[in-house]
């Protein structure tokens, strides 16, 4: 069966692409391996919530319309939002269909998709599966015995589902910090390996920091204008939470409340967990990033002569009194390890020559070097919001315009002109 466009992935990226194509009258089909919004359904814990305010949920044609614009939707509400979006325009999605390969016939300018329900062809293909495909667990995990339960952050659900005893959480990105807090609030003994992820203030000088950054134009900053360029794609997200109306995550306060903090996990030797001597350094660096965000906001307020309340500088509530380089996990009764160590991309099923030496797709705003082949929903595909509810509309609209132009002009001999114009815009 043939379609002008096939979209692979039925999350917010694939649905946004579908909406934009439907608005432009371009026939298409979405394949989704599981259900619409599967990652939100199955890879989040029970108390998960957004870390950005609800007003940033701006899917094309479907902005957040609830009464808590400054609130933070929980897991179930997020799933309902994504499902309601698909229902709102009757998205042409086939769920429960796995795409096992995508290949390209250059001579015919045609793509072939092998799926669990047979082969399909398309003139254009959009890969909207995101970049977080395979849970990344370091091989040091193999050194722990079967008596210690191990799981990745994507399969954690709640404190009650874990064995009795203490829990070691490895990693302090957004998931690690929020899961550690979830366990801590439930009264579970938590041991936390602190990595190098930065933290963010939640509110500052009368506003949520997201509101300030939006007002300052940060979310319109393209990857080409970012000081770190492509390197920003590999940076850890700042940790903060939307839980209970939103607040900062201060690991030092966790320590004061009884959580045990260590540096990064270095080794597992018999029953000994060994740590790097970098706890103080990692805490200081995270604080420095948070303070630098505040200083940037201060400068913006001053430059524009805005009326905003003053705030005192941050004062660390806790400092490590001594370096703990090792503990015996049996003695402290650690029965569970949660690996909050991120994901790996897996595009091996795509047989189209668009990838660089690291396996990352080469593209310009989602447009790859192979004519008619696109990516959508990747982190920093174009802006900070490219992989999020807040910025996907910009990318989807851009690609939809590009694809419609190609569909209409490719047979007229004017493709090279259209290609040059749109890529240069």
Tell me: do 171 and 314 sit in the same domain: yes
CATH of the domain at 360: 3.50.50.60
In whole angstroms, give the CA distance from residue 182 to residue 176: 10
pLDDT of residue 323: 87
Which of 307, 339, 371 is at the close of a domain? 339
CA 64 from chain centre, in angstroms, equals 19
- The dihedrals phi and psi of 222, each to the nearest 5 degrees, come to -85, 160
Tell me: do 193 and 264 sit in the same domain: yes
Residue 412 banded pLDDT, cuts 50, 70, 90: low
pLDDT digits (tens, 9 = 90+) for 62-91: 999 999 999 999 999 999 999 999 999 999
Tell me: do 104 and 154 sit in the same domain: no
3-state SS, residue 295: helix
DSSP 53: -
Q: Give the helix/strand (H/E) hosting 260.
A: strand 260-262
Tell me: do 75 and 145 sit in the same domain: no
Tell me: do 242 and 318 sit in the same domain: yes
Range 45-61 average pLDDT: 97
Which of 271, 305, 339 is at the close of a domain? 339
Domain extent for 34 = 2-133+345-423
pLDDT digits (tens, 9 = 90+) for 334-380: 999 999 999 999 999 999 999 998 899 999 999 999 999 999 999 99
Tell me: do 197 and 238 sit in the same domain: yes
pLDDT of residue 383: 94
Range 32-61 average pLDDT: 97
For the ranges 87-101, 218-232, 308-322, the one whose mean pLDDT is highest: 87-101
Contact 179, 46 (CB under 8 A): no
Tell me: do 187 and 331 sit in the same domain: yes
Residue 291 banded pLDDT, cuts 50, 70, 90: very high
Tell me: do 208 and 349 sit in the same domain: no
Tell me: do 103 and 161 sit in the same domain: no
pLDDT of residue 425: 40
pLDDT of residue 411: 53
What's the whole-number average pLDDT of the chain? Answer: 94
Tell me: do 183 and 320 sit in the same domain: yes
In whole angstroms, give the CA distance from residue 344 to residue 289: 25
Question: Which residue, 78, 117, 75, is CA-closest to 95?
Answer: 117
Answer whether residue 189 shows pLDDT above 50.
yes
pLDDT digits (tens, 9 = 90+) for 309-338: 999 999 999 999 888 999 999 999 999 999
Tell me: do 84 and 125 sit in the same domain: yes
Which comes out higher in pLDDT, residue 239 or 414? 239
Answer whether residue 229 shows pLDDT above 70.
yes
Looking at the chain, the whole-number percentage of residues with pLDDT higher than 90 is 90
Distant-in-sequence contacts of 104-107, Cβ < 8 A, 24+ apart? 104/351, 104/352, 104/353, 104/370, 104/373
Answer whether residue 404 shows pLDDT above 60.
yes
Tell me: do 268 and 373 sit in the same domain: no
Alpha helices by DSSP H, listed for 24-65, are: 38-42
User: What is the domain count for the chain?
Assistant: 2
3-state SS, residue 188: coil
Which of 308, 339, 370 is at the close of a domain? 339
pLDDT digits (tens, 9 = 90+) for 373-401: 999 999 999 999 999 999 999 999 999 99
- The dihedrals phi and psi of 394, each to the nearest 5 degrees, come to -60, -45
* Global pTM value: 0.93
pLDDT of residue 361: 95
């Amino acid at each position: 069966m043939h379609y002008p466009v096939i979209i692979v992935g039925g999350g917010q990226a694939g649905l946004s692409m579908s909406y934009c194509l439907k608005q432009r009258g371009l026939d298409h089909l979405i394949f989704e391996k599981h259900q619409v919004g599967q990652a939100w359904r199955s890879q989040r814990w029970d108390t998960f919530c957004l870390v950005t305010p609800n007003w940033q949920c701006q899917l094309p044609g479907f902005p957040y319309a609830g009464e808590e614009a400054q609130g933070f939707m929980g897991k179930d509400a997020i799933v309902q939002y994504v499902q309601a979006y698909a229902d709102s325009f009757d998205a042409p999605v086939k769920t429960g269909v796995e795409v096992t390969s995508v290949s390209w016939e250059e001579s015919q300018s045609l793509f072939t998709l092998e799926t669990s329900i047979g082969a399909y062809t398309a003139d254009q293909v959009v890969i909207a599966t995101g970049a977080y495909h395979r849970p990344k667990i370091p091989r040091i995990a193999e050194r722990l015995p079967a008596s210690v339960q191990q799981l990745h952050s994507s399969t954690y659900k709640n404190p009650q589902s874990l064995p009795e005893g203490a829990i070691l959480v490895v990693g302090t990105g957004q998931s690690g910090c929020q899961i550690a807090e979830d366990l801590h609030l439930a009264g579970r003994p938590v041991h936390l390996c602190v990595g190098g992820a930065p933290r963010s203030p939640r509110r500052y000088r009368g506003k949520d920091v997201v509101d300030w950054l939006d007002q300052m134009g940060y979310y319109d900053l393209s990857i080409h204008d970012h000081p770190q360029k492509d390197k920003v794609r590999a940076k850890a997200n700042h940790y903060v939470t939307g839980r209970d109306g939103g607040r900062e995550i201060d690991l030092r306060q966790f320590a004061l409340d009884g959580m045990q903090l260590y540096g990064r996990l270095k080794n597992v030797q018999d029953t000994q967990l060994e740590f790097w001597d970098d706890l103080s350094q990692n805490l200081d660096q995270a604080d420095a990033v948070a303070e630098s965000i505040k200083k940037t906001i201060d400068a913006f307020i001053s430059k524009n002569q805005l009326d905003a309340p003053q705030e005192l500088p941050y004062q660390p509530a806790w400092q490590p009194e001594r370096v703990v380089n090792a503990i015996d996990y049996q003695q402290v009764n650690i029965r569970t390890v949660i690996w909050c160590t991120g994901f790996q991309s897996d595009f091996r099923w795509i047989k189209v020559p668009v990838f660089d030496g690291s396996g990352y797709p080469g593209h310009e705003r989602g447009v790859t070097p192979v004519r008619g082949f696109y990516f959508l929903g990747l982190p920093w595909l174009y802006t900070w919001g490219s992989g999020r509810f807040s910025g996907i509309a910009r990318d989807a609209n851009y690609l939809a315009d590009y694809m419609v132009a190609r569909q209409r002009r490719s047979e007229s001999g004017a493709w090279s002109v259209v290609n040059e114009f749109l890529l240069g815009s």
